[in-house]
Amino acid sequence: MKMKKLFAGLLACAMMASLAACNGNTESTSGDLPEIGVCIYKYDDNFMTYTRQAMETAAEGKAVLNMNDSANDQAKQNDQVDTLINKGVKALVINLVDPEAAPTIAEKAKAANIPLVFINKEYPDGTDKIDYDNCVYVGTRSEESGIIQGELIASAWEANKADWDKNGDGKIQYVMLKGEEGHPDAEARTTYSISTLNDKGIETIELGLQSATWDSALANNLMETWLGKFGDEIEMVIANNDGMAMGAIEALKVAGYFGDDGKYMPVFGVDALPEALDLINAGEMAGTVLNDPLGQGGAAVDLAVNYANGKEVLADTDWTLDDTKAVRVPYVGITLDNMDVAKTAYGLN
């Protein structure tokens, strides 16, 4: 029931959240509720927009969120954390710009005795290696998304090989749109999507691989370049997230794909954003992987509220911590056949 309530509130929250100033901070106020400082690595990231909205919904009646846009600048985020600490917030929720900055942020929080929840971007060595007891992580297991994406691709390839294997060699000639260099999710998704295919006996040939830093516009430009260089040699587009997949699809449309003549390119992403679900329904995207922003946002708020109220971090929740001090929100592969799973997760049913 907890998750359904969270999902139901998301859409109502979205319009209000979209009006927030992206370069400043936004703060909700409500009586004597504990104040929690939140830093989001950048507000215009598609996935983190939904996560941020989920956090705002989950916090209603429980906490005041002091929200900050770090604008993809770790130095700025460090300053924001200092400001929040000086203000006396009762807990911190930090979506790191640079995952390697986790120990620095934790050192600041520990010195001020303020509990800390990292979300979405995980310290590569593991949160359990950070020298602060009151510090946990909420997110996913990075390799899982790549494995599930690889499994989705393998299943779809076997079902559609006659149409998708343009040169008939039995191998997938692909281009890969990678997320931010060094980001654990980007590295894992890039590696495991392909290794999963290869482990299943499907050979692959990489025509192009480049970072578009999760950005739709950059992905659009890269796709245009690859189409100019490789043309019909490209048999598949694999993207580390839906935002980049959507940018690639726009470039493919300009090049004549997905039109009345039936020219088609399978494109796979990760996140299962509502916009991506629309593209799957329209036959313009082959599949994606649900990376549950509502689960991550809700869990982060649950844990931070417990910390802020001096409770045990998992008190009165259904969440569990693994041996790396992390709450893991599971991924789910999404195609046209099971879109209701993702729609339910976003409260769209």
Distance CA 70, CA 25 (A): 9
Do residue 298 and residue 278 come from a single domain? Answer: no
Q: Is the dihedral of CA 328, 333, 337, 342 positive or negative?
A: positive
φ and ψ of 118, to 5 deg: -85, 145
Which residues lie below 8 Å from residue 311, measured CB to CB, with a gap of 6+? none
Task: Pick the more confident residue, 7 or 103.
Answer: 103
Do residue 136 and residue 150 come from a single domain? Answer: no
pLDDT of 251 > 70? The answer is yes
pLDDT tens-digit map of 86-97: 999 999 999 999
What is the DSSP annotation of 241-310? SHHHHHHHHHHHHHTTTTSTT-----EE-SB--HHHHHHHHTTS--BEEE--HHHHHHHHHHHHHHHHTT
26-34: average pLDDT: 65
Residue 11 falls inside a structural domain:
yes
Residue 293, strand partner residues: none
Do residue 49 and residue 70 come from a single domain? Answer: yes
pLDDT of 23 > 90? The answer is no
Whole-number pLDDT of residue 31: 60
φ and ψ of 326, to 5 deg: -125, 140
Would you call 211 helix, strand, or coil by DSSP?
Answer: strand
Do residue 199 and residue 169 come from a single domain? Answer: yes
**pTM (2 d.p.):** 0.79
Residue 47 falls inside a structural domain:
yes
71-80: average pLDDT: 98
pLDDT tens-digit map of 137-188: 999 998 999 999 999 999 999 999 999 999 999 999 999 999 999 888 999 9
> Which residues span the domain enclosing 125?
2-140+293-329
